[in-house]
Amino acid sequence: METLLNRYRNITVLLLVIFAQLVLIAVQVRNDQDVRMVRVWSITAITPLARVLETVRGGTSGFFQNYILMRDARADNRRLQADLDRLKMENQFLRTEISTADRAKALVAFQQRTQSRTIAARVIAAGAGVSSKVVFVDRGSGSGVEKGMAVVTPDGIVGKVIAAYPTASEVMLVTDPEFAAGVVSQKNRVVGTLKGQGQSTCKVDYVPSEEKVEVGEMFYTSGDDRIFPKGFPVGVVRVVRASSPYQEVLVEPSGLERGLEAVLIVLEGVHQAIPEVPPANAPVYLGTPPPPSPGEQVVQRTGPVGTDADRLLEKYRQIGATENHKFGEGAPGTKPPDFNIKVPPPGETQGTDAANPSTVQAPAKPASPVAPSPSHPLPGSVPPTQPPHHQ
């Protein structure tokens, strides 16, 4: 028996194992239940390995994804930086174009407005000297430019032509130390001579110390030098120092304030008036009064404007018309008109009209410290009306 078992041991074990598994299947199928324990063993053995594998896979995948993303981000960054640089350059170019267009537009407008005959020119080069303030423009004798002609911009004078070549001209700027031009101040018409200093400011020479020049006022060309027509802006006074016998006046040239690109060469100058300085007590604008509050009496004054004498004359005229009396025709001793009868004051209607929003209340007194003349009321103001004076 033992020999028999040894001889068929392998097949016996196989049959036992197969039989055991068949029983296992039969039990599961019959009871429709799992053998939970075996599954728990297997899953317990497998899941830790799967978790490790998933961690490694996720980490590796994440690393490569991040690496690829980072590479993409770096490439994107480079591309966007290049785009930004290009757009900045385009933006700068367009700004320059707009600025140039604005200047050209202003130049054309000034050219049409001024009475002098001018020709537009473009600054094409600067002088070579360190202290010399000279530029070259692209208009020369071929365009009618001659030595000594004035060069201006809408903002002010720029310089004068010191040499005219066939295709270009050399212009000495107002800041050149050798430049000089006759100027006059706007307020007090103080006359002087503008001289360049090789710096950004110019000096006005020969201004007597007793003359009054204020900081901030404008100087205009006086036309005395016979180069610059009278009335072109020169610059704003920045410094005034008392000195004897002449004051020291420094002016910032207004023609060079916004750089030099395009200029006008004055071929035939026409003197023009120096603009008046607005008076210090200039009329000020007065707005309409606020709307009346509910229940408030509103007096609308719409009569003719004038002085008290005018209003008195109007009153007498109405009294005369009421009593059919013609002034200056009655014989001496005749009955004079009754000046005590009540007539409505000229141009005055009194009543409550709160429901009418169009009625406005006259201001009590003007806001300006200087009362406006009744014959020249301030814009937007209504002159005060005197109450009727009974005599």
Query: Which one of residues 7, 8, 21, 124 is an interface residue with other proteins (CB under 8 A)?
Result: 21
What's the rounded Cα separation, in Å, for the pair 112 and 233? 17
Shortest distance, CB of residue 66 to other proteins, whole angstroms?
19
Shortest reach from residue 69's CB to other proteins, in Å: 20
Which residues, other chains included, contact 305 with Cβ-Cβ below 8 Å and sequence gap of 6+?
Answer: 374, 375, 377, 383
Which residue, 41 or 165, has its beta carbon nearer to other proteins?
A: 41
The pair of three-digit structure tokens given for residue 162, joined into one six-digit string: 């010191």
Nearest distance from residue 86's CB to other proteins, in Å? 43
Say how many residues touch other proteins, by CB under 8 A: 26
**C-beta neighbour count of 154 within 10 angstroms:** 20
- Regarding 4 and contact with other proteins (CB under 8 A), the answer is no
Q: Which is nearer to other proteins, 13 or 98 (CB)?
A: 13
Whether the Cβ atoms of residue 229 and residue 206 lie closer than 8 Å to each other? no
Stretch that binds other proteins, among 24-32, 152-160, 185-193, 242-250 (CB under 8 A): 24-32
Residue 4 DSSP symbol: H
Q: Is 255 in contact with 152 (CB distance < 8 Å)? A: yes
User: Does position 8 bind other proteins by CB under 8 A?
Assistant: no
Residue 125 engages other proteins in binding (rule: CB under 8 A): no
Q: Is residue 109 close enough to count as binding other proteins by CB under 8 A?
A: no
Integer Rg of the chain from CA = 50
Q: Contact region for other proteins (CB under 8 A) — 38-46, 215-223, 239-247, 314-322?
A: 38-46
Closer residue to other proteins, CB minimum distance, 53 or 101: 53
Residue spans of beta strands (DSSP E) within the chain: 117-126, 134-137, 150-153, 156-164, 169-173, 180-185, 191-196, 202-205, 218-221, 233-241, 248-253, 262-268, 300-301, 348-349
Q: Which residues contact 384 (CB under 8 A, 6 or more apart)?
A: 362, 364, 365
191 pairs with which residues across the strands? 184
Compute the least distance from the CB of residue 67 to other proteins, in Å.
19
Cis peptide before 245 (omega within 30 of 0): yes
According to CB under 8 A, which one of 1, 5, 29, 273 is a site residue for other proteins?
Answer: 29
The correct pick among 39, 71, 189, 226 for binding other proteins (CB under 8 A) is: 39
Q: Which stretch binds other proteins (CB under 8 A): 36-44, 228-236, 301-309, 348-356?
A: 36-44
Determine the number of helices (DSSP H) and then strands (DSSP E) in the chain.
4, 14
Reading the block at residue 252, the tokens are: 């910032």
How many other CB atoms sit within 10 Å of the CB of residue 314? 17
* Residue 84 interacting with other proteins (CB under 8 A): no
Does position 25 interact with other proteins (CB under 8 A)? The reply is yes
Site for other proteins in 42-71 (CB under 8 A): 42-43, 45-46, 49-50, 53-54, 57
Give the binding range for other proteins (CB under 8 A) out of 25-33, 206-214, 239-247, 269-277: 25-33
Smallest gap from Cβ 61 to other proteins, in A, equals 9
In the complex, what is the shortest distance from the CB of residue 58 to other proteins, in angstroms, rounded to a whole number?
11
CA distances 156 to 45, 221, 228, 363, Å, are 95, 9, 11, 44
Of the pair 9, 389, the CB lying nearest other proteins is at 9
* Chain positions contacting other proteins, by CB under 8 A: 9-10, 13-14, 17-18, 21-22, 24-25, 28-29, 34-35, 38-39, 41-43, 45-46, 49-50, 53-54, 57
